[in-house]
Structure 1
Amino acid sequence: MKDQFAGKVCLVTGAGSGIGAATCGLLAARGAEHIYAVDIAHGTAEATSSKLERATALGVDVGDPAQVDRAIDEAVQASGRIDVIVHAAGVDDPESKKWIYEAAESGAPVDVLSRLSDEAWRRVMRVNLDGTFHLLRAGARVMRGSGGAIVTVGSSSAFDTLTGYPHYAASKSGVHALSQAAAKELLPYGIRVNVVAPGPVDTGMAARTPAHLRAAMEAGPARGYATAEEIAESILYLASPAAANVVGAILLTNGGQFTVA
């Protein structure tokens, strides 16, 4: 396992924290030749890359296609190619979570949709869905000659939607469909695309989830919150040669919260 990614050049978005940072750590531990740690905040990307022997930090807003293209080009110019892309960057909506929490406290029905602004909708879509398109497109352009693996991060909430979170669920449903469409198109070029769809994960984003929702997710026989490292393990499986026959899959990693047909 320690040489699982030997000789591979990898680029990871959302690398400053959570699942992205954990993925960078595992790739380094398993022999990656070089890792490009990408985050909207260069300082957090640098904090991740500084812990690794062969890594470069890049400050990139994935919602900006020009910034994504520049980052991909910079990596290719420096390393000659990219073998693995992991797109873990994503955002939630703290204001909607606040409204959900307030409704739970008062016993009133959740009222998010009627108050959801265009700006809040676009922010979530811009990063979660547009950002995925930008990474898939850039990856297709540079990997079609040599092949490789792309793993995007969706969400179990695309199947089991949370009350009061329509924009997040919609963005992640789009990530799933977009990634599966790309998987079919890019397979002839030797590029495998797959999706990890986590359930609740104990990251900074989850820390903003109202307490009653956290408790509900941890109730019952299913596992509660996963660690970022556990999700990273699933990502590395999909990116590795062990998953050579896995294309266009959506891997549910939700601890048995629910299954889908």
Structure 2
Amino acid sequence: MSGQQAARFDGQVALVTGGGSGIGAAVARRLAAEGCARVHVADIDVGNATRVAESVGGSAHVVDVADPQAVDDLVAAVVGAEDRLDVVVHTAGVDDPAAKTRILAAQESGEPVDALCELDDDGWRRVMSINLDGTFHVLRASVRAMRARGGGAIVTVGSSAAYDTLVGYPHYAASKAGVHALSQSVAKEVIPYGIRVNTVAPGPVDTPMAGRTPSAVRKAMEASGAIGYASADDLADNICYLASPGAKNVVGAVLLSNGGRFTV
């Protein structure tokens, strides 16, 4: 890593949601390595958040992003402690293991996938409340804090599944398509305040969430592109670019990071 790259976030304060594992943990490590004065690691799992925060000399927080008051309190705590907030990376999200099991069953039986009729209201609401509502809560709280202090950079995590939808995964695809549209609309609104909002749209990534994918389904997904599963560090590279001064002219982008599975 060059000295110039190492200083991309020199002296800045960052908040990473979902920072206790996977992509979020990789982002927290990268931000700390590249000069952040403090990285605040937020996760619903306090043990994971604490371990990552301690490894980067940061601060750990517990948050359920589906709870708007909890998100507001989180951002207020960060700003109260630091008197600034320069970078927010929102990686918190969920998949649906039950839907993946149904996809596997169809794959093994040769029958069409029957997901929509089996998807109940609670399953739909869980994915939407965390993935889409959670993004809204984080964007709103972050913009309120950054606008008062003259700017910042926010990166949200969508999914290539918003474009190349996986059969049997309608709620996940819808939630991530919503993340893209929400982030792009907010990006246009807040750029006059010096706040840049961008999104990364990963394909398959080797994270604990991916580890819950049945092996046969994972194998099929891995074979769908020229490059296999990305690493969490690969995505951290993309995210930190979008959050960095090097992307100062990038606003409202959805950066595909999917190993060449498709283009848009």
Shorter-chain TM band: over 0.9
CA distance in structure 1 between the partners assigned to 2:17 and 2:24 by the alignment: 6
1:1-261 residue pairs with structure 2 within 5 A? 1-53=5-57, 55-145=58-148, 146-219=150-223, 222-260=226-264
AA aligned opposite 1:25: R
Measured in 1, the distance between the counterparts of 2:222 and 2:125 equals 30
Between Structure 1 and Structure 2, how many residues are aligned? Answer: 259
Mapped contact 1:100–1:210 kept (Cα < 8 A)? no
**CA distance change for structure 1 residues 201 and 220 in 2, over 3 Å: closer, same or farther?**
closer
C-alpha RMSD of matched pairs (Å): 0.9
Return the TM-score normalized by structure 2: 0.96
What CA distance in whole angstroms lies between the structure 2 residues aligned with 1:219 and 1:21? 26
8 A Cα contact 1:35 1:56, kept in partner: yes
TM-score, with length taken from structure 1 = 0.97
- Distance in 2, Cα, partners of 1:227 & 1:19: 8
Unpaired runs of at least 5, structure 1: none
* Conserved 8 A contact 1:92-1:168: yes
Cα distance between partner residues in 2 of 1:18 and 1:138: 23
Q: CA deviation at 1:221?
A: 5.8
Cα separation, 1, equivalents of 2:222 and 2:94: 22
Mean Cα displacement is larger for which, 59-68 or 138-147? 138-147
The alignment partner of 1:85 has SS state of strand
1:98-126 C-alpha deviation (Å, 9 max, x unpaired) = 11111111111111100101000000000
Give the secondary-structure state (helix, strand or coil) at the position aligned to 1:50: helix
The residue identity in structure 2 corresponding to 1:201 is: V
- 1:177 partner letter: A
For 1:40 and 1:198, how far apart are their aligned partners in 2?
A: 22
Provide the secondary structure at the position in 2 that maps to 1:169: helix
Aligned residue identity for 2:125:
R
Post-superposition offset of 1:213: 2.7
Letter of the 1:37 partner, please give it. Answer: V
Report Cα offsets for 1:195-245 as digits up to 9, x if no partner: 000000001111122323322222266101000000010000000000000
Q: Which runs of 5+ in 2 are unaligned?
A: none
Kept in 2, the 8 Å contact 1:23–1:235? The answer is: yes
**Equivalent-residue separation in structure 1 for 2:17 and 2:72 (angstroms):** 13
Which whole-Å CA distance do the structure 1 matches of 2:80 and 2:215 have between them?
A: 46
Query: Is the partner of 1:51 in helix, strand or coil?
Result: helix
Following superposition, the deviation at residue 52 of structure 1 comes to: 1.1
Per-residue deviation, residues 127-174 of structure 1 (Å, max 9, x unmatched):
000000000000111101320000000000000000000000000000
Letter in 1 for 2:39: I
Does the 8 A contact of 1:193 with 1:247 survive in 2? yes
Q: Could you report, residue by residue, the CA deviation over 1:51-91 in whole angstroms, capped at 9, with x for unpaired residues?
A: 112x1000000000000000000000000010000000000
